Amino acid sequence: MAQLLQLHKEDPADNEIAREVKRRVWWSLYLIDQWASAGLGLPRHFNGGPVPRLPMDEVAFSQLSITDSSRNVEPLENWQPGIWSHMISLVKIFGLIQDLNHELGNQMHWDENSIEPCVLSLAEQLANFEYELPSTMVYTLDNLEFHVRRGVGSTFVALHLGYHHYCTLLYYQYLDQRRPPTPNTRMFAQRCKHHATEYCELIRTSNQRSGAEALYNIVGHMTVVSSSVLLHTLLFGDDQELPLARHRLESNYEFLVKLREIWPSVDIMVSSDLILF
Amino acid sequence: MKLGSACLQCRSGKRKCDRALGTACEQCEKRGLQCSSLQRDGPPAALLPTPQPVSSIETSSLPPAEVSKELVDLYICYIHNKPHSLFHEPSLRQSARDGTLNHGVLLGIAGLSARFSANPQIRNQGHVFANRARIFVQTNIENICLENVQAFIIVGNVCLAGSDSDSESLYFGKSALKKVNN
């Protein structure tokens, strides 16, 4: 339908609002496609082909006037990428992480010498993503306040929750202590714990700040993944890691109880994912 | 395009259908779905644009104006620009206010955001809105326009988040995506 509608093409008859809405609908489908194929293990529909321009700054977009469309001719040099532009760059890397994890899931014997370069290359892409973020998009408490004031606090949080979740997934397999030790194994396992912890801290901070809450459905799944890493630390970690891991796990659990009131499906995520783990 | 003899629900679920006009098919009966055989007495709509929705929803099954306003506000606060980004916020608010918002979009938003309402009566209505949105989207599956794609995405989100996480609702989310893309 999106292709029949040619959502990726600019229609000269559209005003700037309609064009941006079409771009955003197209990119939303792209993101859902990446997530749905991860969840259900089905092939993706968005492979190659022309793509629309990335979404513009969310605040500038919501300030475009409905009634006076002549004011909406945005000169391109004023164009700023929105939080969603960064979300899309990130989801592209997420797609590659899933491909790797999916492939590993299908292999009976893992060849560490071929896996490690893949993980390192994806790690580098994630590091580049973070490095190239404009200074206002980097996660700091000041930036969080800045985005809350602009009315896009929870979108900013969504970007960073996604970042830590995808990082956790990239290194997740290295928590398995039966993996043969390689020079990087320990570092990867540490990174997995680091991002699961950062995720937990961010969820806690965001839900204490009005205008930054993350209460959409996928957050339930991501929090369960973060909790499973914390639980691993609690079971197998060093003595000095235990108190903080326990504290964070409790904080995630409290949040999941709250989320379950809103989304009944969180119950199923908690029971199936944590029992599997 | 070959016009299938299966009902819309079986077509979207890729099931063998014993569709007969005027009665629900066996598959839908078994699954408790609203079978499209009951709703139509003509052949399914053709693939290419019919600008108006195939069936418009009766105004009485839409949330009342103040409730719509609250639910759109909650949607903008908790969902908009997070798992998806589908609207220009001022346009969405205005079309909800003046009653021009696509009914599938409005019911989908209501089905998704009623859970955030402080009012238990509105919260309890959530699944009713969600079901109406689902039926709207299923009946309009071949009616291609931007608003219906938006409604699809929202209803897909409602289904994936539903308490009935059986394969049916998961499949619906995915089949909606497939339809949207094909």
pLDDT digits (tens, 9 = 90+) for B142-156: 888 899 899 999 998
B180 closest CB neighbour out of A2, A21, A155: A2
The answer to whether the Cβ–Cβ distance between B177 and A33 falls below 8 Å is yes
Return the residue of A nearest to B75 by Cα. A216
CB-based contacts of B55: which residues, under 8 Å, 6+ apart? B39, B136, B139, B140
With contact defined as beta carbons under 8 Å apart, do A273 and A222 qualify?
A: no
Model confidence at B1: pLDDT above 60: no
Model confidence at B44: pLDDT above 70: no
Surface-to-core class of residue A248, CB atoms within 10 Å of its CB (0-12 exposed, 13-18 middle, 19+ buried): buried
pLDDT value at position B71?
Answer: 97
The answer to whether the Cβ–Cβ distance between B116 and A262 falls below 8 Å is yes
- Is B111 an 8 Å CB contact of chain A? no
pLDDT value at position B52?
Answer: 46
Task: Assign 3-class secondary structure to B65-104.
Answer: HHHHHHHHHHHHHHCECCCECCCCHHHHHHHHHCCCCCHH
DSSP string, chain B: ----SS-HHHHHHT-----BTTB--HHHHHHT---HHHH-SSPPPPSS--SS-SSPPPGGGSPPHHHHHHHHHHHHHHTBTTTB----HHHHHHHHHTT-S-HHHHHHHHHHHGGG-S-HHHHHHHHHHHHHHHHHHHHTTT---HHHHHHHHHHHHHHHHSS--SHHHHHHHHHHHHHHH-
pLDDT value at position A203?
Answer: 97
- Calculate helix-pair angle for A112-132, A153-171, nearest 10 degrees: 160
Q: Using a CB-CB distance cutoff of 8 angstroms, which residues of chain B are in contact with residue A21?
A: 86-88, 91, 146
Q: What is Dmax (Cα atoms) for chain B?
A: 48
pLDDT value at position B59?
Answer: 64
Three-class DSSP category at A12: coil
- Min mean pLDDT across A9-23, A63-77, B59-73, B168-182 is at B168-182
ipTM attached to this prediction: 0.91
C-alpha span between B149 and A32 (Å, rounded): 13
pLDDT value at position B46?
Answer: 42
Long-range residue pairs from B165-168, CB within 8 A, at least 24 positions apart, any chain? B165/A265, B165/A268, B168/B13, B168/B31
The answer to whether the Cβ–Cβ distance between A216 and B85 falls below 8 Å is no
Q: How many CB atoms lie within 10 A of CB B34?
A: 17
Per-block mean pLDDT, blocks of 10 residues, chain A (277 long): 68 86 93 79 78 93 79 67 96 93 85 89 97 96 97 97 97 87 88 97 96 94 94 91 94 94 82 56
C-alpha span between B86 and B92 (Å, rounded): 10
Q: Return the closest-CA partner of residue B145 out of B62, B50, B80.
A: B50
Beta bridge partner(s), residue B23: B20
Q: Return the closest-CA partner of residue B71 out of B136, B148, B125.
A: B125
Q: What are the domain boundaries of chain B?
A: 1-44, 48-181
C-alpha span between A23 and A133 (Å, rounded): 21
Residue with tokens 């998961």: B170
Q: What is the DSSP letter of A72?
A: G
C-alpha span between B61 and B76 (Å, rounded): 22
Model confidence at B42: pLDDT above 80: no
The answer to whether the Cβ–Cβ distance between B85 and A28 falls below 8 Å is yes
Average pLDDT score over residue span B130-152? 89
User: Smallest CA–CA separation between A180 and chain B, in Å?
Assistant: 37
Selected residue with higher pLDDT from B166 and A250: A250
Q: What is the DSSP letter of A4?
A: T
pLDDT value at position B159?
Answer: 81
- Min mean pLDDT across A76-90, A234-248, B15-29, B86-100 is at B15-29
B163 closest CB neighbour out of A64, A154, A265: A265
The answer to whether the Cβ–Cβ distance between B182 and A3 falls below 8 Å is yes
Highest mean pLDDT among A101-115, A181-195, B37-51, B100-114: B100-114
Interface contacts (A, B; CB < 8 Å): 118
C-alpha span between A175 and A186 (Å, rounded): 9
pLDDT value at position B141?
Answer: 81
- Min mean pLDDT across A123-127, B30-34, B36-40 is at B36-40
Q: Using a CB-CB distance cutoff of 8 angstroms, which residues of chain B are in contact with residue A2?
A: 149, 180-181
Selected residue with higher pLDDT from B12 and A129: A129
Q: How many CB atoms lie within 10 A of CB A11?
A: 12
- Is A5 an 8 Å CB contact of chain B? yes
Residue with tokens 């929705």: B53
